[in-house]
Structure 1
Amino acid sequence: MTDQLDLDLTLPYITDQPGIGGKIRQQTSHFKVDEIPVYEPQGVGNHLYVNITKENLTTREVQLRLADLFEIKPEDVGKAGLKDKYAVTTQTFSVLFNDHASPEEITPIIEDNIPVKVNWAKYHNNKIRAGHLIGNKFTILITKPEGSIEQAQAIAKSINETGLPNFYGIQRTGKDGENIYQGWLLLKKKKRLGNRWLRKYLLSSYQSYLCNRYLVKRIEKGLFDKMVHGDIAKKHETGGLFWVEDLETDQGRFDSKEISFTAPMFGYKMSKPKEESMALEEEILVEMNLDVQEFRAQRVKGTRRMGRVLPEITVSDHTEGIQLEFALPKGGFATTLLREFRKIEPTD
C-alpha cells in the first residue's frame, strides 16, 4: 500500500446481536446457489437454454466446455452471471444451434461429456447475456456454530425488519484491498494497463470501495433507515428511479419496503442526487481527494446501486449446524449477509 491512499476496509455490522461463529463451505454441498431468471424460454429460436447444476467448476469452465463440445465459439454460449466454483450452483446457459437439435438428444450428450446435471433444456430466440437475472437464491449451512439457533433467528428477524446494507464483498475489492489500490492508481494516472478487461475490473473495484464508504458514512450518521431530501430512490418491484422530494411520504414507502435509497458508483455519467443527499456524496469525493473529471478521463461512466437489500431470511435447524435460506438481487453478496450472522470477517 502507500501513504497516498489511506484505505479503510472496516465495515460496521447492522445487527447488535452477538454472532454465532461457525464454519462455511466445509463441503461444496453446504453452499447452494440457484439463479432467479428474468424470463423463461418460449420453445422457439436457435438458442438452446440449458439449465445446469454444477459443482467444483467455474461458470467460465462450463461455458468453454459447452463451446468445445458443440464446436462453436465461446461467445455463442451465453450466461447471465458468474457462480461460485466451490459450491453447488444452478444456472442457465444458452447454446447456439443453427440446426435446431432436439433438446432430448442434447441433454445426454452434455451429461456424458461434462460432469454436470442438466435439469431441463428449451429453445429461445435470444442469447442469455450478462445481467439477464433477477438475483440468486442461497441455501447455506453454517457448521460447528458457537451460538444457538435462537441467536441466529434473532439476527434474521433484525435483518428481515430493517434490511441489509448492500456492501460489496471481498470478491470485488480483493484481499487486503489490493484491487482497490490498483484501481486508484489507474484513476490517478499513476499506472497504465493495456489489458482492457483487467483495467475495467480494477477501476470497478475502486468504485466499489467508494460505494462501501458511502454506505458506512450513511450508517454512522444514522441515515441507513431514513430517506434524505434529494436521495435517488429505487422501487424494489419495478426498478424505477426518482428523486425524494416528499420526505414524509417517501419515508413511509421506505418503511414498507416499497423503495430504498440508492448509493453511488461514482462516474461522469452517474445520475446525481440533490440537496442534502448530494452533500453526503460530495463528502466522499472530498475525503478521497477526487474530482468527477478524473472518472471522465478514464471513461468510467458510473451508475446507481441499491443501497439496501431485503433478503427475507429463513433459519432452520440442521443435523450438522444451522441452515440459512435467502435471496439477493443481482450484484448482492452472500458474504455480506454471512458476516452479520457469524460476526467474522470473510477472507475469500
Structure 2
Amino acid sequence: MSEVDAPREPDAIAWPPTWPRSLDDAFGPPPPGEYRARPEDFQVEEVLDFAPEGEGEHLWLFIEKRDLTTAMAVKALARLCEVSPRVVGVSGMKDRVAVTRQWLSVQLPGRVAPAGLVDALAEQGIRVLEMARHPRKLKRGVHRANRFRLRLTGPAVESPGFTPRWERLLERGVPNLFGPQRFGPDGRNLLRARALLARGWRKRDDRDGMLLSAARSFLFNEALAERLADGSWETLLLGEVAILDGTASQFTVEAPDAELAERAARLDLHASGVLWGVGRSAANGEALAREARLAGRYPALCAGLERAGVRLARRPLRLRLAEASLELGTDALWLTFTLPRGAFATAVLRELIAHPTL
C-alpha cells in the first residue's frame, strides 16, 4: 500500500508531504542539486498579451527587482507616489530571492509621476525598464505566462541522467503541483488555514486570501499525488474535465477514445483537478468519485472553503514546458522555459534535483 492510499484520520496533515515525482519510476530519485544560491540564479519575467495604451489615469511601470517581494515593491511605489497601496495594481506575486521583471500600475488621476521617481525606486533596488499610461488598473492574473532562467549546480547536473530526465519532461510534461512557497515554512500557512477554516474564515483574518489559497492548493496537490501514484495523471478518465493546453477552455470527457488519448499524449489536452469551493463539479463518473474521496479525507478543509464562499475552479494536472532550452556553462547548468501563469518553476525543479526546499 502506498503512502497516498494508506488509511488516515480525516483532515490529518502530515508535513513535510511525500508527494510523488513523475520520473522516479523510470529514473529513480534525482541526485542532490542546488538552485537559487543567489538572486541572480533565479530569473523570472512576466509576459503580458497586451501593452499599455499610452494614456489614462494609471501609470504602468515595467520593473526589475532584486531580492525584494512584490509586496515590498508595491509599498515602495505607493510611498513615493504618496498614495495608498490599494491603488497599486499587480498581476502576479513574484519570489523574493530572485531577479524578477513584472508590471505594476499606480493610479495618478490628473497627476504626473513624482519628480525623480525612477531614481528613487532605483535606490530601493527597483529598476524601471518602461513606463506608460493606461486607462485601467493592472488586475491580478492578467499576465499570460512567466519566463524562467534558472542556474543549477551540484551532483544532479553533473549526473549523466540529468539530460534524459529533462528530455522526458519536455516530452511528457510536468506535474502541475503548487510549489512549497504557497504553504510557508514548515507548512505554517496551511496549518493556519486549517485553524482559521475550522472557526470560520473572515476576510479581516486573511486580507489577501493567502490562507484560503494554501488550503485549496494543498487539496489540489493531494488529488494530483493520488494520480501520480497510480499513473493516471497523464490520461483522461471517464468523466474527466479536460483542459485545452494554454487556455481556459474545458469540457467533460464522457467517453475517452483514441483521438482524445492521442491529443493528451501530445500535450494538447490535460486532465484537471478541482480547486475546492462552492459550486457543482463538471466531473462525473470515476473522476467525480475521486473528488468525493478527497472530500472524505479532508471534510473540514472542504467544508470550510465552501463556507468561506470561494468559488470552485479547475487546474490542469500537467504543464507543458514552452520555449525550453538547456545550456551547459563552465561551472553550472542553465535551464530556460516558459510556464503559464499560476504554475511553479519549483514543480519542474523537484523532478530534476533533490533539495530540502522542494
The structure 1 residue matched to 2:232, chosen from 223, 227, 236, is 223
Could you tell me which amino acid in structure 1 is paired with residue 177 of structure 2? F
Instruction: Determine which of 285, 300, 303 is the counterpart of 2:295.
Output: 285
User: Structure 1: how far apart are the matches of 2:116 and 2:263?
Assistant: 48
Q: Matched residues in 1 for 2:314 and 2:261: separation?
A: 19
**Farther-moved stretch of structure 1 (128-137 vs 140-149):** 140-149
CA 1:334/1:270 → structure 2, altered by over 3 Å: closer, same or farther?
A: farther
Q: Distance in 2 between matches of 1:135 and 1:239?
A: 13
How far is the alpha carbon of 1:133 from its aligned partner?
A: 0.9
- The equivalences for 1:130-209 within 5 A come to 130-148=140-158, 150-189=160-199, 195-197=204-206, 200-209=209-218
Distance 1:129 1:326 in 2: 24
What's the counterpart of residue 210 of structure 1? 219
Work out whether residues 335 and 346 of structure 1, in 8 Å CA contact, stay in contact via their aligned partners in 2: no
Cα 1:187–1:57 shift into 2, 3 Å? closer
Unaligned runs of 5+ in 2: 1-7
Q: What is the CA distance between 1:129 and its match in structure 2? A: 1.3
| Kept after mapping to 2: 8 A contact 1:37/1:134 | yes
Give the distance between the partners of 1:126 and 1:106, measured in 2 at CA. 24
Please give the alpha-carbon distance, in whole angstroms, between the structure 2 residues aligned to 1:146 and 1:309: 22
TM-score, normalisation: structure 1: 0.89
| Aligned residue number for residue 96 of structure 2 | 85
Q: Aligned match of 2:84 in 53, 73, 84? A: 73
1:307 aligns with 2:317: yes
Partner SS, residue 341 of structure 1? coil
Distance in 2 between residues matched to 1:107 and 1:254, nearest whole Å:
49
Instruction: Name the counterpart of 1:7.
Output: 13
Displacement of 1:246: 4.2
Counterparts in 2 of 1:301 and 1:311: CA distance versus 1, 3 Å: same
Distance 2:106 2:282 in 1: 39
Deviation at 1:222, TM superposition (A): 2.0
Q: Is the 8 A contact 1:20 1:152 kept in 2?
A: no
Q: Is the 8 A contact 1:54 1:90 kept in 2?
A: yes
- Report the AA paired with residue 230 of structure 1: G
- Cα deviation for residue 152 of structure 1 reads 2.3
**Match of 2:3?**
none
Q: For the residues of structure 2 that align with 1:108 and 1:291, how far apart are their CA atoms?
A: 45
CA displacement at 1:157 relative to structure 2: 0.7
Cα contact 1:43–1:123 (8 A) shared by 2: yes
The equivalent position to 1:33 in structure 2, one of 44, 51, 55, is: 44
Across the two proteins, how many residue pairs are aligned to each other? 344
Deviation at 1:253, TM superposition (A): 2.0
Check whether the contact 1:11–1:216 (CA below 8 A) recurs between aligned residues: yes
1:245–1:210 distance in 2 versus 1, CA, 3 Å: same
Question: Against the structure 1 CA distance between its residues 329 and 199, is the aligned structure 2 distance closer, same or farther, given a 3 Å change threshold?
Answer: closer
308 and 146 in structure 1: CA distance in 2 versus 1, 3 angstrom threshold: closer
Q: Report whether the alignment pairs 1:250 with 2:256.
A: no
- Asked whether the 8 Å contact 2:152–2:332 carries over to 1, the reply is yes
1:335 alignment partner, one of 324, 346, 352? 346
Residue 199 of structure 1 and its aligned partner are, at CA, apart by 8.8
**1:48: which partner in 2?**
59
Counterpart in 2 of 1:233? Answer: 242
Q: Which moved more, 1:23-32 or 1:241-250?
A: 241-250
Shift of 1:260: 0.9
Q: What value does the CA root-mean-square deviation take over the aligned residues?
A: 2.6
Query: Are the equivalent residues in 1 in contact too, given 2:46–2:147 (CA < 8 A)?
Result: yes
SS in 2 for 1:340: coil
The 1:206–1:121 alpha-carbon spacing in structure 2 relative to 1, beyond 3 Å, is same
The letter for the 1-side match of 2:273 is: A
Deviations 1:66-97, CA, capped at 9 Å, x for gaps: 11112222122211111111111101111223
| Aligned twin of 2:275 | 265
8 A Cα contact 1:270 1:304, kept in partner: no
Q: List runs of 5+ in structure 1 lacking aligned partners.
A: none
Whole-angstrom distance in 2 between the partners of 1:125 and 1:253: 40
Quote the sequence identity (%).
27
Q: Which region of structure 1 is more displaced relative to structure 2, 20-29 or 124-133?
A: 20-29
Give the aligned residue type for 1:94. S
Counterpart-to-counterpart distance in 2, 1:76 and 1:236: 33
